[in-house]
Chains A and B, each alone.
Chain A
Amino acid sequence: MERLMTRRYFFGRTATGIGIPALASLLGADNGGLPGLPHFPPKARRIIWLFQSGGPSQMELFDYKPRLKEFAGIDLPESVRMGQRLTGMSATQSSFPIVPSRFSLARHGQSGAWVSELLPQTAGIADELTFIKSMHTEAINHDPAVTYIQTGAQIAGRPSIGAWLSYGLGGETKDLPAFVVMISPGQGGGGQPLYDRLWGSGFLPTRYQGVKFRSVGDPVLYLSNPAGFTSEDRRKYLDALSELNQSKLEEFGDPEIATRIAQYEMAFRMQSSVPELTDLSKEPASIFELYGPDARKPGTFAANCLLARRLAERGVRFIQLFHRDWDHHGQLPQNLPRRCKETDQPAAALIRDLKQRGMLDETLVVWGGEFGRTAYCQGRLTDQEYGRDHHPRCFTMWMAGGGVKSGLTHGETDDYCYNIVRDPVHIHDLQATILHCLGIDHTRLTYKYMGRNFRLTDIHGRVVKEVLA
């Protein structure tokens, strides 16, 4: 018995070939992940990715383009578009009138980074951030584009970046998953749909998929005991269950049984560690001031940012927030400010909070969506109203913290904010760079499936050394 319960059995392969890395990865035991990883000393221990789903407009937020005012109402010149394919939504438009930002941008901080009036708090931390204005992708529609940036391929079936990290590195805690996802809707609950595959494990075992922390019902599915069944009842129940499974293990010798016993114990631990984590009542008032009043409302981006910090403190490896409803084909001047209001203060607060706790150095924070928006107007163009279609050829993201420079602007777009003129960064490059910050060579984190060694960056990806600290 003693022998069967040794670590070797816990972490070895088993009769069914499943083994117990579950322990290491899903619940990220301290030595989870693959042997030999990280490949080199990491700059960041974890990631918080503030994903802005729908494609925020770079022109209104960060990419200052004064000449768009000159071009206003003029058709986008073919010399700029160069036959670039458009989405079916604007491909049949009879004209492509340029529309400048209705919102002003100004330089902020010592770095002089351009930030929109819609993001005053972000402007306040501009010196902490690295802006990449030359992000680009090939996908021009939401589903393929989000799937692409999350999994490295436009078509479903590959593991998400968080699943890769969970598989490669495991977590740093025994009581929480290595990869946690939280979702917030835009005001009114609208926006592009999301899909489980965005944090799915693809062809990796399902234990590497992101665990969704929810704001309604149980934070983790099926976490709570049923009414009328207390934690003490559960303890007695588990003691008996464990005893019975133990005797089975003695009789049958299948190490999988030992794993199951351990998993039930971990489930029990999660039943206390997760509620402790999601209980914000002990956070001081100053924290709520920092993150803003929304932080008291479960399910908001602000509350999720605060939770992200708590998850980071507890050793979760990859924390990804999805905020919906940045897809502004029409009525952009009305809708964009709402999204900014929902996200600006909490995102800036997270950076400040991590910094004041000395955690920013070891936490890589990423902000951005799946693509940018067109310089030309889609749909109705009036003084009060305009919209922008999807634009894959350039968009802006920012990063901060572990491994990246602060106060840097990388890459540049042309006067039309249509093409990149300097230092393009493909989404595969971004993925490679993120992995690099965590001490991973993106060409060497692979998994064999269908006879091939797959990796997050497919056969592409270049670490953007220029932004590394």
Chain B
Amino acid sequence: MTRSFSTLLLAAWPGLALDFNRNVRPILSDRCFSCHGPDTASRQAGLRLDQEESAKAALRGKRPIVPGDPEGSEVYRRIASDNKAQRMPPAYAGHEKLSAAEIGVLRRWIAEGAPWQGHWAFLAPVRPNIPPLKNTAWVRSPIDAYVLNKLEREGLSPSPEAPKDTLLRRVTLDLTGLPPTPAQVNAFVNDASPDAYEKVVDRLLASPRYAERMAIRWLEAARYADTNGYQSDGQRDMYRWRDWVIDAFHRNMPFDRFTIEQIAGDLLPNATLDQKIASAFHRNHRTNAEGGIVEEEFRVEYVADRVETTATVWLGLTMGCARCHDHKYDPFTQKDFYRLFASFNNVPERGLVYNFGNEEPFLKAPTPEHTRKLAELDRRVREAGQRWASLQDRLDKEQARWEKGLRKAGELEWTISGGRVLHLPLGEARFDGERVVEAGYDVAKFDYQDPFTLAAWIKPESPNGAIVSRAEDYFEGEGYTWFLMDGKLRLHITRRFTDISLRIETVKPILLNQWQHVGVTYDGYRKGAGVKMYVNGERQELKILFDELTYPYAPKEPFRVGAGAGPKHRFRGLIEDVRAYNIALSPEQVSVLPLPETVTELARIPANARSKPQAGKLRFCFLDRFASEEIRSALRDLEQARKERKKYFESIPTVMVMAENATPRDTFVLKRGAYDQPGEKVMPAVPAVLPQLKREWPDNRLGLARWLVDRSNPLTARVTVNRFWQMLFGTGLVKTAEDFGSQGEWPLQADLLDWLAVEFMDSGWNVKGILKTIVTSSTYRQSSRLTPELLAKDPENRLLARGPRLRLSAEMIRDQALAISGLLVEKVGGPSVKPYQPPGLWQELAGGSGYKQDKGEGLYRRSLYTYWKRTVAPPAMITFDSPTRENCIVRETRTNTPLQALNLMNDVTYLEASRKLAERMMIEGGGDPGERIRYAFRLALAREPREREAQVLGRVWEQLRSRYRRDRDAAVKYLSPGESARDESLDPSELAAYASVASLILNLDETVTKE
């Protein structure tokens, strides 16, 4: 496509001078480089055509290219040859012959002396001169000068400026993703001041809607989503990063800082929370939780994704092509790829991740509101703690008095009962290696995020045997099993034994044939580090055997005593006093459990002679049952305050961020890109053909980040302004927005691109500034009307003799309908929401409980907040060409299909919007039908309907109104879709007729188009 475009261009405009980068390199690259280019491994005949020296040097007596002498040039001779056996590229390998036009270009180039240029995109842009022009009146900015220069050469003139209402709708959609209101249209149309348009642009750029609009394209580039993206596709929480992006655009963070913080915010000196959150950019890639994967295979995949995404977004380079071998077209070696890889290879992360929730490294990412509330809760804990501390003397006195009384009273026993969900006294039950005691299915049913405590008295006669279990009765069974193995206490929590399991045991064995009290606690945080075991109340040293509890488990079998882990592990000996708690008891609490003495007996021991557990038991008992209300309430308050604080803290979102291993992980070139084929060891670096890292930069990701936005980098500014151009004009100045290499498109408006890039950098990477520069140009303001001449001469509008006319992007189409109908909820940031989606879409692919649609506000937020499940993406977004968010996509594409028509006509989203728009028509739109229809038209299209349009809509309205008058039930049905209430004060037949007209307006080509 690229090739044919530049070649066709030359044919269409023979006046154009031949340019190596524009006309010649694309042909050589596309047709020759894969065998005669940078990749040493696949190079044929030792011939290399991507470098001037080798392309012109004699090779085995022949000269590939002889400047000025096509016939003497082997390259020309071979491509033009009629002899199939001689001809290049070789027919036997299935290659097509070069077209006559391509051969003509190469011939002319050689004849003209074969002038060579370095690849344009690898040379730093310099501010180009402004060309001399005839029609200087049209030129508002240098942008226009470059555009006009081309137009004048082609004998074209710019289109007239678009009408004010059209222009306002265009710029409002472009900068905020939403249409202007009728009031805004009126204000602008009636503002005759010379800076009226500029004021509008400033207003739009200052709006939070601008930041949201900018964010969505960035989210797509960053492959942002709410789920992990492989197989079961569990949820993750990254929206605090999205909040950061919106905020950064809103505050107009300079793009260089925007870059550095996202690539390496965590490595900045004294990094702030916000800077760390920014680094989540490179944790947005998909992660795999499928059981059984080879961890390293996928960890490598994540790192490679970071390299490829960074290259695409900032450099416009297809570095992924150099992952398995040297790049076929661009001068990047495989080693270059792995040097970049090294910068991203040092994250303390796993290949097999949690199926649900964030994977390490992550951090708490409180909003200012969270921080404020948390401080408030901390204050309450502190206050309750102070009050509690102030009561300690009194507590001691009260307790001493109570103990005194106890000694005289009858026997009193007490045990810890808070959180106790099961207690089986059993009374020295004997287990003979066969006996099993079952305690039912509804007890002690814990999942992997539930804390628990298990405890019992045991007198084992064998070093192997299960104490308790809630698991399938075999060694690898799903559930939890606590047992003795080789005399050691051992806990298994298993989803699938081989890979989703937690296994941990004591280092020392316990004693046989003696009563011992044993306990185990688990804190519910899915890690072996959260398990403690006790023998006779004393903490035991533990050894973690397996620590991959990444997935929920479901104990399907009853609670058993004396059994678990299969028939070979039946208990032999005595067991009694089996307990389960749904909390993880503290060490102090566990130490109390084994005490044989009753409370009364303990009270009789002199205070200074009591052991710590003994004193603890008395204290716990006293506080639990006998302390004065004042003391007990102070304790309750403290516990409550702590609980609330903990609960709130846990509700604060986390976000996965970048971090560095203390000891860097070695990086190797991976042969053929395979994770298990390491070759040569490499250090972090940037591709050899590009400017190198400066010595003063750190030797890590931060250095790479600084390099990306360094003035010497030839690519980042060009690639970035090109995307801005694409966002406004539909196509970038380099159409291949993702590829600025030799296979990418050479920019016809290279001077314009360079001017924008330099201007962008000179302005301090001012994003709002460069956008304002573009949208205030005469080029942008042109009418988008097509004449037959323009259509014939420049169907793709690459010469820019007219304004852009493009179908709106997926999210704009929906957001616009919400805005026009008045349903839009303009709330910035926060967790993702679940608007309407046809039922069953998740279940039919994955089973489970499926999509739970929101109620209320969540239905009407802007589409960038829509919950994005990667394996089943929101269908309406995909139908309108949204990227799937599975990997980085920067090129905008638009198709035009019947599924889009069905979506806009029949989706509840648009039916409800039509009804609400109809209500606005009837309530706000004036008295008569014509006025009301005009009002809707203005809301949607920012203009008055023409007479014919008003007539057609009026006719439909008449027809449908009489139809719905005849069939009121149909009207009520037609008005029913959507959660919002119908305005009952309006006549349903009338309303239904207006709703149909409203739907029609939402379906107009012009409505879904920016013109």
Please determine whether chains A and B interact with each other in the same assembly: yes
Which residues of chain A have a CB within 8 Å of any CB of chain B? 3, 12-18, 20, 22, 26-27, 85, 87-93, 140-143, 155-157, 183, 185, 189-197, 200, 205-207, 209, 211, 214-218, 220-230, 233-234, 236-237, 240-241, 243-245, 247-248, 251-257, 259-261, 263-264, 266-267, 270-271, 379-380, 389-390, 441, 443-444, 448, 450-452
Q: A143-B230, A263-B901 are in contact. Are A193 and B846 (CB under 8 A)?
A: yes
Best-buried of A13, A256, A271 by chain B (most CB within 10 Å): A256
Q: Of B736, B840, B896, B901, which one neighbours A451 at CB under 8 angstroms?
A: B736
Known interface pairs A26-B898, A451-B736, A451-B741; 15 further A-B residue pairs with C-beta atoms within 8 A, sorted by A's residue number: A15-B791, A85-B294, A143-B230, A155-B301, A156-B286, A206-B878, A220-B899, A222-B906, A226-B977, A228-B973, A248-B1006, A252-B785, A253-B786, A263-B896, A452-B743
Closest 5 CB pairs of A and B: A451-B743, A228-B974, A228-B973, A87-B292, A193-B846
A89 to B295, CA, bound (A): 12
Best-buried of A155, A185, A390 by chain B (most CB within 10 Å): A155
Q: A196-B871, A226-B906 are in contact. Are A92 and B898 (CB under 8 A)?
A: no
A sample of 15 cross-chain residue pairs with beta-carbon separation below 8 angstroms, ordered by A number, consists of A18-B896, A87-B292, A185-B847, A193-B233, A195-B872, A205-B881, A221-B879, A227-B973, A228-B969, A243-B952, A253-B788, A256-B807, A256-B896, A263-B898, A267-B902
Residues 484-521 (chain B) with a chain A CB within 8 angstroms: 496-499
Q: Does B948 count as interface, using CB distance less than 8 angstroms?
A: yes
- Please indicate the chain A residues that have their CB under 8 angstroms from the CB of B996 in the complex: 229, 233, 237
Q: Does B293 count as interface, using CB distance less than 8 angstroms?
A: yes
A450 to B499, CA, bound (A): 37
Residues 952-984 (chain B) with a chain A CB within 8 angstroms: 952-953, 955-956, 959-960, 963, 967, 969-977
Best-buried of B94, B292, B736, B976 by chain A (most CB within 10 Å): B292
CB distance from B915 to the nearest CB of A (A): 10
Encode contact with A along B713-752: 1 for CB under 8 Å, 0 otherwise: 0000000000000000011000110110111100000000
Residue contact B838 to A218, C-beta cutoff 8 Å: yes
Q: Which of B595-603, B610-618, B886-894 contacts A (4 or more CB under 8 A)?
A: B886-894
- Please indicate the chain B residues that have their CB under 8 angstroms from the CB of A217 in the complex: 838-840
A18 to B880, CA, bound (A): 13
- Please indicate the chain B residues that have their CB under 8 angstroms from the CB of A253 in the complex: 785-788, 791
Q: Does B232 count as interface, using CB distance less than 8 angstroms?
A: yes
Name which residue of chain A comes closest to B872, CB basis.
A196
CB distance from A389 to the nearest CB of B (A): 8
- Please indicate the chain A residues that have their CB under 8 angstroms from the CB of B288 in the complex: 143
Q: Does B328 count as interface, using CB distance less than 8 angstroms?
A: yes
CB distance from B975 to the nearest CB of A (A): 8
Q: Does B46 count as interface, using CB distance less than 8 angstroms?
A: no
Name which residue of chain B comes closest to A237, CB basis.
B1000
Q: A240-B956, A263-B896, A451-B321 are in contact. Are A183 and B844 (CB under 8 A)?
A: yes
Residue contact B94 to A444, C-beta cutoff 8 Å: yes
Residue contact A15 to B1004, C-beta cutoff 8 Å: no
- Please indicate the chain B residues that have their CB under 8 angstroms from the CB of A237 in the complex: 956, 996, 999-1000
CB distance from B651 to the nearest CB of A (A): 29
CB distance from B709 to the nearest CB of A (A): 23
Majority secondary structure of chain A interface residues (helix, strand, loop or mixed) = loop
Q: Of B887, B901, B999, B1000, which one neighbours A267 at CB under 8 angstroms?
A: B901
Q: Of B292, B730, B807, B1005, which one neighbours A141 at CB under 8 angstroms?
A: B292
A243 to B952, CA, bound (A): 8
- Please indicate the chain B residues that have their CB under 8 angstroms from the CB of A241 in the complex: 1000, 1003-1004
- Please indicate the chain B residues that have their CB under 8 angstroms from the CB of A87 in the complex: 291-294
Residue contact A244 to B898, C-beta cutoff 8 Å: no
Best-buried of B291, B899, B976 by chain A (most CB within 10 Å): B899
A172 to B739, CA, bound (A): 35
CB distance from A27 to the nearest CB of B (A): 6
Q: A15-B795, A157-B886 are in contact. Are A194 and B846 (CB under 8 A)?
A: yes
Name which residue of chain B comes closest to A322, CB basis.
B845
Residue contact A452 to B321, C-beta cutoff 8 Å: yes
Residues 862-904 (chain B) with a chain A CB within 8 angstroms: 870-873, 875, 878-879, 881, 884, 886-887, 893-903
Name which residue of chain B comes closest to A184, CB basis.
B844
Residue contact A244 to B1004, C-beta cutoff 8 Å: yes
Residue contact B906 to A22, C-beta cutoff 8 Å: no
A211 to B959, CA, bound (A): 35
A240 to B953, CA, bound (A): 7
Residue contact A143 to B231, C-beta cutoff 8 Å: yes
- Please indicate the chain A residues that have their CB under 8 angstroms from the CB of B710 in the complex: none
A261 to B230, CA, bound (A): 38
Q: Of B321, B806, B807, B955, which one neighbours A240 at CB under 8 angstroms?
A: B955
A20 to B795, CA, bound (A): 14
Q: Does B340 count as interface, using CB distance less than 8 angstroms?
A: no
Encode contact with A along B278-298: 1 for CB under 8 Å, 0 otherwise: 000000001010111111000
- Please indicate the chain B residues that have their CB under 8 angstroms from the CB of A267 in the complex: 898-899, 901-902, 905
A441 to B93, CA, bound (A): 12
- Please indicate the chain B residues that have their CB under 8 angstroms from the CB of A140 in the complex: 292-294
CB distance from A431 to the nearest CB of B (A): 17
Residue contact B898 to A266, C-beta cutoff 8 Å: yes
- Please indicate the chain A residues that have their CB under 8 angstroms from the CB of B948 in the complex: 247
Residue contact B806 to A16, C-beta cutoff 8 Å: yes
Q: Does B820 count as interface, using CB distance less than 8 angstroms?
A: no
Q: Does B1 count as interface, using CB distance less than 8 angstroms?
A: yes
- Please indicate the chain A residues that have their CB under 8 angstroms from the CB of B742 in the complex: 451
- Please indicate the chain B residues that have their CB under 8 angstroms from the CB of A227 in the complex: 970, 973-974, 976
A230 to B744, CA, bound (A): 50
Residue contact B786 to A195, C-beta cutoff 8 Å: no
- Please indicate the chain A residues that have their CB under 8 angstroms from the CB of B952 in the complex: 240, 243-244
- Please indicate the chain B residues that have their CB under 8 angstroms from the CB of A236 in the complex: 956, 959-960
Name which residue of chain B comes closest to A186, CB basis.
B847
A245 to B1004, CA, bound (A): 7
Residue contact A226 to B887, C-beta cutoff 8 Å: no
Q: Does B329 count as interface, using CB distance less than 8 angstroms?
A: yes
Residue contact B949 to A18, C-beta cutoff 8 Å: no
A391 to B1, CA, bound (A): 42
- Please indicate the chain A residues that have their CB under 8 angstroms from the CB of B498 in the complex: 88-93
A209 to B845, CA, bound (A): 16
Residue contact A206 to B886, C-beta cutoff 8 Å: no
- Please indicate the chain B residues that have their CB under 8 angstroms from the CB of A193 in the complex: 231-233, 845-847, 871
Residue contact B886 to A270, C-beta cutoff 8 Å: no
Best-buried of A15, A17, A200, A233 by chain B (most CB within 10 Å): A15
Residue contact A22 to B974, C-beta cutoff 8 Å: no
- Please indicate the chain A residues that have their CB under 8 angstroms from the CB of B290 in the complex: 141-143
Name which residue of chain A comes closest to B312, CB basis.
A450
A240 to B318, CA, bound (A): 47
Best-buried of A244, A252, A254, A443 by chain B (most CB within 10 Å): A244
Q: Of A91, A142, A156, A261, which one neighbours B887 at CB under 8 angstroms?
A: A156
- Please indicate the chain B residues that have their CB under 8 angstroms from the CB of A15 in the complex: 786, 791, 795-797, 805
Q: Of A22, A197, A228, which one neighbours B884 at CB under 8 angstroms?
A: A197
- Please indicate the chain A residues that have their CB under 8 angstroms from the CB of B974 in the complex: 226-229
Name which residue of chain B comes closest to A389, CB basis.
B292
CB distance from A253 to the nearest CB of B (A): 4
- Please indicate the chain B residues that have their CB under 8 angstroms from the CB of A252 in the complex: 784-786, 805, 1011
Residue contact B786 to A254, C-beta cutoff 8 Å: yes
Q: A16-B807, A143-B230, A252-B784 are in contact. Are A22 and B897 (CB under 8 A)?
A: yes
Q: A15-B805, A26-B898, A216-B840 are in contact. Are A233 and B887 (CB under 8 A)?
A: no
A189 to B844, CA, bound (A): 8
Residue contact B911 to A226, C-beta cutoff 8 Å: yes
Residue contact B295 to A88, C-beta cutoff 8 Å: yes
Name which residue of chain B comes closest to A207, CB basis.
B895
Q: Does B142 count as interface, using CB distance less than 8 angstroms?
A: no
Q: A92-B499, A196-B884, A259-B896 are in contact. Are A214 and B321 (CB under 8 A)?
A: no
Residue contact B871 to A26, C-beta cutoff 8 Å: no
Q: A143-B290, A444-B94, A452-B743 are in contact. Are A189 and B847 (CB under 8 A)?
A: yes
A270 to B846, CA, bound (A): 28
